[in-house]
């Protein structure tokens, strides 16, 4: 029981501190446009799909850019295959103006050669295919790891 209480306290502290240093989107939920909702539904339906280097489909698994490319292709939006090229697609968006469906990019090692991409969910989280051994999942953008490695965002939906 003591361990559970300590973990809960740690999580609450981390969340309260995280909110001071980084904000995402507006303070009030904004209704999703039809294109945003369907992209998110497609992405959420793939949660649990295994990560696979260079993977581009639910059958073979996904890497991060393959996941994003596949989701958007289902909705008639062609994106480049590589994360670095996806960074150049669409238009840049300040993190305070993020909307559901925006692409968010991370540079965990601080290098552009190791960019990571996911799809913002409109509620402070994002959906992505993380790394070898992982599965497509939804995570909280304000978690310390993601907050500290956030790099940029762009909008490909109108």
Q: Residue 16 falls within a domain, yes or no? A: no
**pLDDT tens profile 41-70:** 999 999 999 999 999 999 999 999 999 999
**How many domains is the chain partitioned into structurally?**
1
Q: Residue 147 falls within a domain, yes or no? A: yes
Q: What is the largest CA-CA distance in the chain?
A: 52
Q: For residues 121, 27, 107 and 93, what is the CA-based torsion angle, rounded to 10 degrees? A: 90
Q: Is pLDDT of 139 > 70? A: yes
This model's pTM is above 0.85? no
Q: Residue 1 falls within a domain, yes or no? A: no
Of the candidates 13, 75, 116, 123, the residue annotated as catalytic is 116
Q: Residue 86 falls within a domain, yes or no? A: yes
Q: In the numeric block, which tokens belong to residue 29?
A: 């939920």
- Catalytic residue flag (residue 123): no
Of the candidates 5, 13, 20, 64, the residue annotated as catalytic is 64
**pLDDT tens profile 19-35:** 333 334 443 444 445 55
Q: Residue 10 falls within a domain, yes or no? A: no
Question: What per-residue confidence (pLDDT) applies to 34?
Answer: 55
Domain that holds residue 56: 34-155
User: Helices 34-45 & 64-73, crossing angle to 10 degrees?
Assistant: 130
Q: Which residue has the higher pLDDT, 117 or 17?
A: 117
Q: Residue 7 falls within a domain, yes or no? A: no
**Contact between 139 and 121 (Cβ < 8 Å):** no
Give the pLDDT band of residue 156 (cuts 50, 70, 90). very high
**pLDDT tens profile 77-113:** 999 999 999 999 999 999 999 999 999 999 988 878 7
Separation between Cα atoms, residue 60 and residue 57, nearest integer Å: 5
- Catalytic residue flag (residue 13): no
**Contact between 132 and 51 (Cβ < 8 Å):** yes
- Catalytic residue flag (residue 116): yes
Q: Residue 111 falls within a domain, yes or no? A: yes
């Amino acid at each position: 029981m003591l361990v559970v209480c300590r973990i809960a306290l740690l999580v609450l502290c981390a969340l309260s501190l995280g909110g001071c240093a980084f904000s995402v989107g507006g303070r009030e939920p904004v209704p999703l446009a039809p294109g945003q909702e369907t992209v998110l539904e497609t992405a959420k339906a793939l949660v649990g799909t295994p990560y696979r280097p260079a993977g581009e489909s639910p059958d073979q698994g996904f890497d991060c850019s393959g996941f994003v490319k596949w989701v958007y292709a289902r909705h008639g939006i062609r994106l480049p295959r590589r994360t670095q090229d996806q960074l150049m697609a669409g238009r840049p968006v300040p993190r305070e103006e993020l909307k559901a469906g925006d692409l968010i990019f991370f540079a965990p090692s601080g290098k552009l050669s190791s960019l990571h991409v996911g799809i913002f969910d409109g509620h402070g989280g994002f959906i992505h295919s993380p790394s070898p051994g992982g599965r497509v999942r939804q995570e909280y953008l304000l978690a310390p790891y993601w907050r500290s490695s956030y790099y940029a965002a762009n909008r490909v939906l109108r």
